[in-house]
Structure formats: structure tokens, C-alpha cells
Amino acid sequence: MTIAITDVVLRDAHQSLFATRLRLDDMLPIAAALDDVGYGSLECWGGATFDACIRFLGEDPWLRLHELKKAMPKTPLQMLLRGQNLLGYRHYADDVVERFVERAVKNGMDVFRVFDAMNDPRNMKAALQAVRSHGAHAQGTLSYTTSPAHTLQTWLDLTEQLLETGVDSIAIKDMSGILTPMAAFELVSEIKKRFEVRLHLHCHATTGMAEMALLKAIEAGVDGVDTAISSMSATYGHPATEALVATLAGTKYDTGLDILKLESIAAYFREVRKKYHAFEGQLKGYDSRILVAQVPGGMLTNLESQLKQQNAADKL
């Protein structure tokens, strides 16, 4: 079974590593090379990028999507959508949700990963239905966390509810890097045993468990995983694409991706990243405190940046 790779370099990687500051001008020169790799999809929009384009970069987020689709016509483009919140910070009316999705599809979006921070399927329903009605791929999301209330049955019940709503696939979103390898194996195994659904796994590298979790999930039958090109991976971010490609090469899970093509992309971002040094987070390795605090990787550099702006960096 070939494992599909979603590279998050154009969205969650820079959101996690340097506060969502990557500009379109630094994406377009490498777009053709990314389009030629053969990824299952490329995450390039949504999350905090919409806000950052307007608030910090002086860019039109809709133009960004349009230009990226024009530059990468072969690869499905993917976004992260906050369900009823869309890309804002409050709930929006159903007709606004429907219209937003319609415009996103029109401008080139193919795959919508729809989540709700409270794991309430009611807050994902309108968005998922809008995505499917406009012919795009609707991916429902389990926002993974641990607590006495979050048992294996919790995730199985939510999976069933999302399937009843209508989805094309399910993502397990471990945004804090707290999914242990054994828990990943159990969760994927049980979902696959009970439901016929395409399953995808997203992990952050913050605690040091992500690569192991991905591998155990692959052994359990997951269909696709998220990674980031090596020069835009690790710390607050994600497992490196090249490492996983090399790990699976020659096995029944072989991704089919050319590591030489990936290396040229990594070299490009190695240089581009230097421009954004001022927005880099403090973390240099792993942070075991996150096993307790459970702060998402995509929040940390944004939080650090905001604290610096308020002369309160010591509060972190």
C-alpha cells in the first residue's frame, strides 16, 4: 500500500516555525518544483495564513490561493478550515460558510481539512456539506488530545458522527505532538477495523514522538501522513518528508517520491528561511513540557512573537 504524502511546507510548517510569515514571493519560485514531486496534496492555505496575510504581510489571501493554483496545477491544494469559524475567531452564519467554501473552490482549493477545536461535529457539519456540494474533498478531523474524558471510544464515536455527516476522509490531527506511537497504532487499527474510510495522520514534532507515531500508524493501516520538507521541519513543526520517504523506500509502503527532487526543494527553503530569522521560536530540540501543557505547535511561535511585541517574552 503506497502511503500518500501531504507536504505542509507552504502552510503549517511556516506557521509553526516562524509565525506564519512566509510570503507569496518566496513560494512562487519553488512552486513548479513542488508541483513536480507527486505529493498526494500540498497544504498551502487556511489556518493562520489568512489572518497573517492581512494583518502582517499586506497580501491578499485570495490572490495567494489563485496564484498558487496557477503555479501548481497538477497537485491537489489543501487547506485547514476551522469549521463554523472559517478562518476567523467567531462562528459565522451557514450562508457565509457556504459562500466562503464556494469561493475557495472557485479559486483553486481541492482538499478541505475541516476541524473544530471542541471536536463538536455540529460545528463541522455546514462546512463539510458545503465542500462536498461544490465537488471538493471533505476531510473531517479528530483534534487529538488526552484527558480522562478522551478515550478510544470518544474517537470512534466522533469518527462515526463525521461519517454520518458525510466526509471523503478522516484526519487524526495531533497538533501538539502528544500522540504516542502505541496510541497511534491502536487508534488507527480500531478505526480501520470498524469503518471503511480513508485515514490521514498529522503530527507535530515538538515532543519528539512524531516520527515514531507516523511509522506505527503506517503499520496499522493509515493511508496518508503529513510531513514538511527537511529544511522546514522539526522543533515546533513536523517530521521531515525526506526521512519518511527514505524509511519507506523499497517496502510495501513506498511513497514513490524522488528524494533527489526533494533535496533541491530543501536547499531552496534552507536559504529562504534565513530571511525570517527574527520570527523563529526559541525551541532548538524537543520540549517535553508540551506533554503536559499540550500547546499546539502552530500556536507557539505566534505566541512568542506576540509576547515579544508586548515586551513580555519572559512570561512564556
Residue 4 contacts residue 224 (beta carbons within 8 Å): yes
Within 13 Å of residue 120, how many CA atoms lie on the same side as its CB?
10
- Nearest partner of 174 among 13, 296, 40, judged by Cα: 296
Distances (CA, A) of 316 to 116, 176, 299, 311: 26, 16, 12, 11
Tally the domains of the chain: 1
What are the grid coordinates assigned to 294, written together? 499540550
- Nearest partner of 162 among 191, 190, 133, judged by Cα: 191
pLDDT (average), residues 290-312: 75
Q: What is the pLDDT of residues 235-277, one digit of tens each?
A: 999 999 999 999 999 999 999 999 999 999 999 999 999 999 9
Residue 44 contacts residue 77 (beta carbons within 8 Å): yes
CATH of the domain at 216: 3.20.20.70
pLDDT (average), residues 289-305: 73
**Local structure of residue 116 (DSSP, 8 states):** -
Domain that holds residue 39: 4-315
Name residue, grid cell 536559504.
271
Query: Residue 23: phi, psi to the nearest 5?
Result: -90, 155
- Residue 38 pLDDT grade (very low, low, confident, very high; cuts 50, 70, 90): very high
Q: What is the pLDDT of residues 242-253, one digit of tens each?
A: 999 999 999 999
- Nearest partner of 215 among 231, 228, 233, 203, judged by Cα: 203
pLDDT at 308 over 80: no
One-letter amino acid of 181: P
Q: What is the pLDDT of residues 11-34, one digit of tens each?
A: 999 999 999 999 999 999 999 999
Name residue, grid cell 485547514.
80
pLDDT at 298: 64
pLDDT at 141 over 90: yes
Q: What is the pLDDT of residues 48-71, one digit of tens each?
A: 999 999 999 999 999 999 999 999
Q: What is the pLDDT of residues 169-201, one digit of tens each?
A: 999 999 999 999 999 999 999 999 999 999 999
